[in-house]
Structure 1
Amino acid sequence: MFRSKIKTIFLAASVTIMAASLISYPQESFSASIRGLNMWWEIVFPSLLPFFIISEMLIGFGVVKFIGVLLEPFMRPLFKVPGVGGFVWAMGMASGYPAGAKLTARLRQEGNLTRVEAERLVSFTNSSNPLFIFGAVSVGFFHNPHLGIILAVSHYLGNIAVGLLMRFYGKDERATRSSRHRKFKIREALAALHRTRIKDNRPIGKLLGDAVTSSIQTLLMIGGFIILFSVINKLLFHLHITAFLAKGVDFLLSALAFPEMLSIPLISGLFEITLGSQLTSQVQEATLRQQAMVTSFILAFSGFSVQAQVASILAQTDIRFKPFFIARILHGCFAGAFSFLLWEPFYSRIAGSTAPLDAIPVMLQEQSQILSYSYIKLAEAGPLITIFALAIYIAILFRKLKQGSP
């Protein structure tokens, strides 16, 4: 009872301080809000919407169930999750935060995962997409497309390491699961696909409309969190709370022989990854290797903004948030360690300052350029895509309301 009262007082005081800060710093709050809005409608909305809609369609048509049966022999021994986890993992890597959480929650609601399996799966299927790593961070902030390779490799290797570690988490509720999935069975996978499609007997038009509505509702929620945490981050800076927290990080950075100037970018990155990565790139006192390690940690930890989005999605199910939060800390440590370990054998020898720019493999060089170019074009066309999608959403919503009215 006492702890509950303390929590109530803390939450009420926090909201009151935030309201007072908004009044005290209206211009700064407005600028931060615009910054968050631009990030959402230029990049986040247009990049995530197609993946969300297609994912809903694939689930409805039974394709995910088909993939799950085929990938069972791979996902179960490695990560102790069903084969459908392979689909969530791939979509999470391709589309970025928080697609892995949304798909995991959806599959949990469908009964394809137990709670423990869902908590394992969500811990390693939420990651930054290559478009953001190469386009925004490596090119936009560091002006170094080669750096995106080490950031991406460290990020995804860290995800795999978290997945392998989380396989030991929790007790299996289906420990005695039949071993009939030990081999790839196309016939059984096709049968599962057909059963799932028959069970979900919605017409294609209804399924598509539901997919669009559900996806845009989730993206509107994500946009709200992005704007909110952009404002919170700015207010914490002006209230000198960021500087105060950074003093506690100075000791850790000094122990690692890192410049103390990285403390404020690191604290900012704990709240919002974009601002944290940008500030890290501007620290001249740090070496590029140190900047890469801090940025890798920030990208892997994913920031409280993304974590709040995930918590909101998981709250719709019985999936607990605590394992996900612990996994983010582990992912940050793994990604930072991989950036350190892979720097000499991977980055310095291929894209170091002593090597010519064309020493990087052609395939990786082209991929980096394509992702960077795609990010720039997405930022240019993003607002139009967002407005068009919102117009469709309003039309579908209006039609549903009209059909529901007497």
Structure 2
Amino acid sequence: MSRHSPILTLILAFSTIALVFALVTHSQISFEAAVRGLKIWWEVVFPSTLPFIVLSEILMGLGVVHFFGVLLEPLMRPLFHVPGTGGFVLAMGFSSGYPVAAKLTTRLREQGNVTREEGERLVSFTTTGDPLFVMGAVAIGFFHSEQMGIILALSHYLSAICLGILYRFYAPAALTSKPLEKTNLPLPLRALQAMHRARVRDGRPFGKLMGDAVQSALNTLFMIGGFIIVFSVLIQLFAAINLTQFIGNVLAVTLGPFGFPPAFSHAIVAGLFEVTLGAQGASEVAGGVAMVWKAAIASAVLSWGGLSVHAQVASILSTTDIRVMPYLIGRFIHACLSAVLTFVLWGPLTSTAWLRDKAVPVFVPESPALPLASWMETVLFSGSVALGCAAVLLIGSVCLRWLRFNKTR
């Protein structure tokens, strides 16, 4: 369906009217959800994200991104098919979490340091959760375990690297950006020279640069806060009208024949919209479910990110020609890869003496392992995930070609 279709207009209009009606009829629930979303933004997201965005803006103005661009060009170009400046986005994205990588990728695209396809590759695999959230809020806060934090972090970030290597084959014939500097000087000196030239070209005094960085960070964070509040209200409204219950039951019936624990269906539905609720739901699942399944679902939810994060990324990318569809396909593949990698890492890591001796135990034999823990069923599960990824890639490529064809008509 084309975005210019009148049917799409009617669908969007009726959906919005239905949401307004639900908002009016459940005003108390909506108000409490909005307050909850505002509290999460003010107490968690704002103080944890503001310093990273401000510092990243300052570093870009000082030319540090060009320093990384020259220094990491021999690594990023062959491995991920992105310029060396992507190393700066990779470092900041992994350390500060979503959606900082989208913000930095947008800036690089606006400055002409990456092409459209390079930006799509970059934002797809650098949009991750930050270590404080993965190992602190999820592992310690929900699972009460340092061990779980190590497993979740390894599966989350290693699968992101695997996704970046996989996405290097995305649009292989597209235009590529030129290296920043090519001289006979040693690599470190070339990097320093590129940083100095970029700072001189920027020309802003440090006070002006810092003021612009703070203003840009506040604008981005207010946008993020608005999305968090809106999706907090939507999630509660969907729960009030039993929509999430319906989707959870459909998932349980659909995935049950493949050996998927039905108890996780509601956690997945919550994680579909918001990453924190999904991870918390996975940790609270009871009824004889093995811990490895809880870790795998939590890892998949962390890598998916939730529609709230996707809306933030789409809003940030809308100022450029970078398309959102490759990013969404990458989120799904990242979720599948991280879940499979959790199963692969579980045995070796839980048998490591250093992890067993951690002060906060988690791997209590609360229930017997599920039949899927056998090697044969694990292989079948991994194969189904691979087929699902291939199907999504095929459908996504067809959709992209169809949109490109309609756009040229």
Cα distance in structure 2, aligned partners of 1:216 and 1:267:
31
Alignment of 1:198-213 (within 5 A): 198-213=200-215
Matches within 5 A, 1:319-334: 319-334=322-337
Offset at residue 115 of structure 1 (A)? 0.7
Structure with more of its chain in helix, by fraction:
1
Deviation at 1:139, TM superposition (A): 1.4
Hey, what does 2:34 align to over in structure 1? 33
> Are the equivalent residues in 2 in contact too, given 1:70–1:184 (CA < 8 A)?
no
1:53-79 deviation line (CA, Å, top 9, x unaligned): 111111111111011101000100000
Q: RMSD over aligned Cα, in angstroms?
A: 2.2
Match of 2:135?
134
Instruction: Give the Cα separation in 1 of the matches to 2:338 and 2:255.
Output: 17
Distance 1:181 1:7, change over 3 A: farther
Separation (CA, whole Å) in 1 of partners of 2:185 and 2:337? 32
1:348 Cα deviation from its structure 2 partner: 4.5
Cα distance between partner residues in 2 of 1:321 and 1:204: 34
Once the two structures are TM-superposed, the CA of residue 357 in structure 1 deviates from its matched residue by: 3.8
**Who is 1:242 aligned against?**
244
Partner of 1:376: none
Q: CA deviation at 1:27?
A: 1.8
Gaps of 5+ in 2: 362-409
1-structure distance, mates of 2:25, 2:40:
25
3-state secondary structure, aligned to 2:72: helix
Residue 351 of structure 1 contacts residue 359 of structure 1 at CA under 8 Å; is this kept in 2? no
- In the alignment, the residues of structure 2 paired with residue 257 and residue 179 of structure 1 have an alpha-carbon distance, to the nearest angstrom, of 54
Would the aligned equivalents of 1:73 and 1:182 in 2 still touch at CA under 8 Å? no
Alpha-carbon deviation of 1:34?
Answer: 1.5
Q: Is the 8 A contact 2:69 2:180 kept in 1?
A: no
In the other structure, the counterpart of 1:185 is 187
Deviates more, 1:321-330 or 1:30-39: 30-39
Q: Secondary structure at the match of 2:341?
A: helix
Between the aligned partners of 1:177 and 1:43, the Cα distance in structure 2 is 38
In 2, Cα distance between equivalents of 1:246 and 1:351: 38
Q: Distance in 1 between matches of 2:347 and 2:184?
A: 40
The answer for the alignment partner of 1:23 in structure 2 is: 24
CA separation of 1:136 and 1:184: change in aligned 2, threshold 3 A: farther
Aligned to 2:262: 260
SS at match of 2:145: coil
Q: TM-score, normalised by structure 2?
A: 0.83
Cα drift, residue 349 of structure 1: 4.1
Distance (whole Å) between structure 1 residues aligned to residue 188 and residue 352 of structure 2:
44
Distance change (3 Å), C-alpha of 1:2 and 1:38: closer
Change (3 A) 1:83 1:176: closer
Check the 8 A contact 1:75/1:82 in 2, yes or no: yes
Number of the residue aligned with 1:220: 222
1:232 to 234, 255, 267: 234
Q: CA deviation at 1:237?
A: 1.1
Percent identical pairs in the alignment equals 49
Instruction: Give the letter for the 2:138 counterpart.
Output: V
Partners of 1:4 and 1:237 lie apart in 2 by 30
Offset at 1:215?
0.5
SS of the counterpart of 1:191? helix
Match of 1:123 in 2: 124
Deviates most, 263-272 or 140-149? 140-149
Residue type at the aligned position of 2:277:
L
Q: Which amino acid aligns with 1:226?
A: I
Residues 93, 126 of structure 1: 8 Å contact kept: yes
Please list the CA deviations of residues 278-302 of structure 1 after superposition, one character each: whole Å capped at 9, or x if unmatched. Answer: 1111111222111111111111010
Separation (CA, whole Å) in 1 of partners of 2:275 and 2:164: 22
- Give the distance between the partners of 1:272 and 1:257, measured in 2 at CA: 25
Bigger relative CO (Cα 8 Å, ≥ 6 apart): 1
Q: Does 1:341 align with 2:344?
A: yes
Q: In 2, Cα distance between the equivalents of 1:181 and 1:127?
A: 35
Distance 1:165 1:337 in 2: 16
Q: Which amino acid in 2 is paired with 1:108? A: R
Q: Provide runs of 4+ in structure 1 moved above 3 Å.
A: 175-184, 348-352, 355-360
Q: Which residue of 2 aligns with 1:56?
A: 57
The answer to whether the 8 A contact 2:70-2:179 is kept is no
CA offsets, 1:342-389, max 9 Å, x none? 11111244588xx454599xxxxxxxxxxxxxxxxxxxxxxxxxxxxx
Q: Are 1:282 and 2:284 an aligned pair?
A: yes
CA deviation after TM superposition for structure 1 residue 93, in Å: 0.7
